[in-house]
Chain A
Amino acid sequence: MSALSRTDAAEPASYLNAGYGLKSWLLTLDHKRIAWLYFISITGFFFLGGAAATLIRLELLTPAGDLLSDNAYNQMFSLHGIVMVWFFLIPSIPTTMGNFLLPLMLGARDMAFPRLNLLSWYVFILGGLFTLTAVVAGGIDTGWTFYTPYSTMFSNGAVLAAATGVFIVGFSSILTGINFIVTTHKMRAPGLTWFRLPLFVWAQYATSVIMVLATPVLSVTLVLLGIERAFGIGIFDPALGGDPVLFEHLFWFYSHPAVYIMLLPAMGVVSECIACFAHKRIFGYKVMAFSILAIALFGFLVWGHHMFVSGQSIYAGVAFSLLSFLVSVPSALKIFNWIATLYKGQIRFDAPMLFALSFIGLFLIGGLTGIFVATLALDVQMHDTYFVVAHFHYVMVGGMVSAYMAGLHFWWPKITGRLYPEMWARVSAIIVFVGFNLTFFPQYILGWAGMPRRYHAYADEFQLLNVFSSAGAGLLAVGYLLPLLYLIWSLRYGARASANPWDARGLEWTVSSPPPVHNFARVPRVEHEAYAYDQPQ
């Protein structure tokens, strides 16, 4: 104990030792501490969603429904979807790394609205409590999509509590989005022009625009659903001439752009990691920035591709199919530019780079199979099969979670002032990559062969590939539990990090690790672009 206090006394003042009490954390207005509040809460939700996934994969080891009843299985995949989408993937990178890094990257002392920032965390927790209540109060079996009229008239689960939770957490997204946009517009240091911003900031900005424009539509849709279920105020009720497909339109008008809320920040993180570990200026900076904006824009025009078999008009289907192909253009540009950045770079394979490279490979597979399911005729065959499940897991888990891990390791020394154990981190990156492919590649084949999603039992001929998939899920769990252990270990025993351990460029690396409370003693004056790797920092 005395040894500990001696080292503490030697520590330079930082946001971490500015106060130790619980109150200094729960009432903090410091964006860096609020990032920690989010880190801890979304990690909890990630492992809760992961536990549900574990039960799903255990059930699917055998063709018969022997571990879970059909109802319990429905509740498990609904819980998995709701928790992972709204309580992990949507908030993940923006609320943690975004909160921590945005003011640092802009040369600002804090967000534009620090109190709003803290409020958004409390709103997030309140929404989480409602959803957890739904789990305890008998579960919810509608899937994460809450399709009417099942959700409003027939489901026996706690739909209202879960929908209320998602409604509330939407406001957390909206407040975060507003805060990020205003901060990016109004808080940039002198000399930091738009085209000198790191791509991470561009990605956060585009994500925030989607949060602000799409989330309110989900909110009102859930309100309409909620009042129909609670008070019988039928809006989608077919008995009154209401239209359940209208619900799907409104739902996907949010939920497709939401995919890009998850993906764009990941692309921002990967750009930072690739540039740093190739020690090179990012190739085609402006194309990268504009393709982020293009993906955000096209994301609003493609929602109907979720409804090819829902009874929308065939002409709408054709238009949505063509528009969906458009998204692949800026996405492909980004992949080519990352590869071109690697060309003739001085590449180092540290753990963040391994995770970033896995992102590129897995996102490429997820993106290409996305073209399959965006093809109108082909989707009639693929719809509601495991092919779709594999496709979006390649994008969201293989893509987004890999990038989250890349960013977490990349900025861990900055956030904590400690180095993580490099060897264990590389082992974890490789386990995650292998485990992920073993889990989800067989699901492509299963879907192609016609195995439908959302059933707790299946035909005997699908068993072998399902066993592979479940074994991969076990490996994946090890790959995600390892970082939890060694990162916590490093908080205390990791070597002290210097201000810039990766020899990276960017304003966040000019302040000490961990940063002081108000980030910059003097407002920095920016004279270079973000990726000036040809000049000394």
Chain B
Amino acid sequence: MTSRSNRTTVIIAHQFESADQQLDADLLGMWLFLVTELLLFSGAFLAFSVYYHQYSEAFSAAAGELHWLLAGFNTALLLTSGLTVALAEQAAVENNRRATLGLLALTIALGLAFLALKGYEYHSEYRAGLIPFLDQPFAFDGPDPIHAMLFYNFYFTLTGLHALHMIIGLSAMGVILVSGYRWRDRHRVARQVRIAGLYWAFVDIVWVLVYTSLYLVGR
């Protein structure tokens, strides 16, 4: 991966024999963590698909009230941030400090824009009376409002869980941005950006699943 003269500057944790072993271990660890994250979401998706199978008409009608176009724009923002973090990874490997930090900052900005739009969506759903919990007035006027409530419960649970993962990913990238600012150990930054990038790709993919199954259902 790197030439021998470069490797002498790398700081390796005491338990490892080489920088390659350390990177391999870190990547395998992250992949395993993503498997656990996938299973975490899959439990909620499983429950959703069971109920969608039972109450598909009510769920489709309830999904019709969501801002699918706005969320589609949000999907584009998030996928673009996936591109910028992949480019940041490449820049870090090439020892390009400016590009790495700039692209990381751009990724964070896109992520924050996503969250802001998501917040606006929540607010407009609150105004429309589509929140079926916390003793809010539920003003859904379509057919079968009881099962529509079940749909909105899933909508807020799944998008909320996803937003929580966004916040975790954005915080991690913020930490890398601050700690990598001085560019002391470029191998360390490259490793961190690569691992954060894996996590961010996962957050992207889960959003695509959330978007297609919640917003586009019945369309």
Q: Which residues of A approach B to under 8 Å, CB–CB?
A: 103, 108-114, 116, 174, 177-179, 181-182, 185-187, 212-217, 219-221, 223-224, 227, 231-235, 239-243, 246, 250, 253, 518, 523
Q: Is the pair B39, A216 in contact by a Cβ cutoff of 8 Å?
A: yes
* Contact residues of B between 143 and 184, Cβ < 8 Å to A: 146-147, 149-150, 153-154, 156-157, 161
- The residue that B150 contacts in the complex, of A181, A220, A240, with Cβ under 8 A, is A240
Q: Given that A213-B35, A216-B36, A220-B43 are contacting pairs, would A186 and B21 also be in contact in the complex, using a CB cutoff of 8 Å?
A: yes
* Contact residues of B between 123 and 142, Cβ < 8 Å to A: 132-135
A212 and B133 CA atoms in complex are apart in Å by 32
Q: Is the pair B40, A231 in contact by a Cβ cutoff of 8 Å?
A: no
Q: Which residues of B approach A to under 8 Å, CB–CB?
A: 13-17, 21, 24-25, 28-29, 32-33, 35-44, 46-47, 50-51, 54-55, 132-135, 146-147, 149-150, 153-154, 156-157, 161
- The residue that A182 contacts in the complex, of B28, B40, B55, B161, with Cβ under 8 A, is B28
A227 and B133 CA atoms in complex are apart in Å by 10
- The residue that B43 contacts in the complex, of A114, A216, A232, with Cβ under 8 A, is A216
The distance from the CB of B121 to the nearest CB of chain A, in whole angstroms, is 17
By a CB distance below 8 angstroms, the chain A residues around B14 are: 109-110, 518
By a CB distance below 8 angstroms, the chain A residues around B39 are: 213-214, 216-217, 220
Q: Is the pair B157, A235 in contact by a Cβ cutoff of 8 Å?
A: yes
A186 and B20 CA atoms in complex are apart in Å by 10
By a CB distance below 8 angstroms, the chain B residues around A231 are: 133-134
Closest to B156 in A: A233
Q: Given that A109-B15, A174-B36, A219-B40 are contacting pairs, would A232 and B134 also be in contact in the complex, using a CB cutoff of 8 Å?
A: yes
By a CB distance below 8 angstroms, the chain A residues around B13 are: 114
Interface residues of A, dominant DSSP = helix
Closest to A178 in B: B32
A sample of 12 more A-B contacts (CB under 8 A), given A214-B39, A240-B150, is A110-B14, A110-B15, A111-B15, A116-B29, A186-B24, A215-B36, A216-B38, A219-B40, A231-B134, A235-B153, A241-B54, A242-B150
By a CB distance below 8 angstroms, the chain A residues around B133 are: 231-234
In this complex, which of B36, B38, B47 has the most chain A Cβ atoms within 10 angstroms of its Cβ? B36
Q: Is the pair B44, A212 in contact by a Cβ cutoff of 8 Å?
A: no
Q: Given that A112-B15, A212-B35, A224-B157 are contacting pairs, would A240 and B40 also be in contact in the complex, using a CB cutoff of 8 Å?
A: no
A-B contact pairs, 29 of them (CB 8 A): A109-B14, A109-B15, A110-B15, A112-B25, A113-B29, A114-B13, A174-B33, A178-B32, A178-B36, A179-B29, A181-B32, A182-B32, A185-B28, A187-B15, A212-B32, A214-B39, A215-B36, A219-B40, A220-B41, A223-B161, A231-B134, A233-B132, A233-B133, A233-B157, A234-B132, A235-B153, A235-B154, A241-B146, A250-B46
A523 and B44 CA atoms in complex are apart in Å by 46
Q: Given that A181-B32, A185-B28 are contacting pairs, would A240 and B44 also be in contact in the complex, using a CB cutoff of 8 Å?
A: no
A246 and B13 CA atoms in complex are apart in Å by 45
- Smallest CB-CB A-B distances: 10 pairs: A220-B43, A110-B15, A216-B39, A216-B40, A216-B36, A186-B25, A112-B25, A232-B133, A240-B150, A178-B32
By a CB distance below 8 angstroms, the chain A residues around B161 are: 223
Q: Given that A213-B39, A220-B40 are contacting pairs, would A250 and B25 also be in contact in the complex, using a CB cutoff of 8 Å?
A: no
A182 and B22 CA atoms in complex are apart in Å by 11
Q: Is the pair A182, B29 in contact by a Cβ cutoff of 8 Å?
A: yes
A163 and B55 CA atoms in complex are apart in Å by 29
